[in-house]
Amino acid sequence: MLAYIDVCQSLDWEMKEEEMGSMPTQLATPETEAPCCVPSQGEESLLATEAEALALRFKALSDPNRLRILSIVSSSPEAETCVCDLSEPLNLGQPTVSHHLKIMVEAGLLNREKRGVWAYYSLVPGALDSLAATLTPKA
């Protein structure tokens, strides 16, 4: 079976003719030891703290119920939704909905405003745009 090599390993590699039978099994060493895959000098990479904060946000969005909550809140005409209005469309109990909301508030995706006995949730302005920007290639 042929061995697969990545782009960096494929530079100047040749099959050894004397070892080629019906199926080649080994690859020769490169003729030159030129550096391969030199890091780009473009944008700075993420710092560890930035990566952790982004991972927390993306992890909060990785649950289908949380995505549905985000959709319900963002499509609300009032730009906010009462916690009491989320259990029925999600077909989840109130404690489960509250757990999902807590995760999204801690991740910085939703704001929580207490009014009497009810809590109202709204999108944090720019939170989704900043996440989208991290996935958009820099030109």
Say if CB 110 and CB 123 are below 8 A apart: yes
Q: How far apart are CA 115 and CA 110, in angstroms?
A: 16
Measure the CA angle with vertex 56, ends 51 and 61; round to 5°: 125
pLDDT at 30: 54
DSSP 73: H
What domains are defined for the chain? 1-35 (no CATH), 48-135 (1.10.10.10)
65-68, Cβ contacts within 8 angstroms, sequence gap of 24 or more: 65/90, 65/92, 65/96, 65/100, 66/100, 66/103, 66/104
pLDDT tens sequence for the chain (139 residues)? 455 555 444 444 444 444 455 555 455 455 556 666 665 655 567 788 888 888 889 999 999 999 999 999 999 999 899 999 999 999 999 999 999 999 999 999 999 999 999 999 999 998 888 888 887 877 6
pLDDT at 130: 83
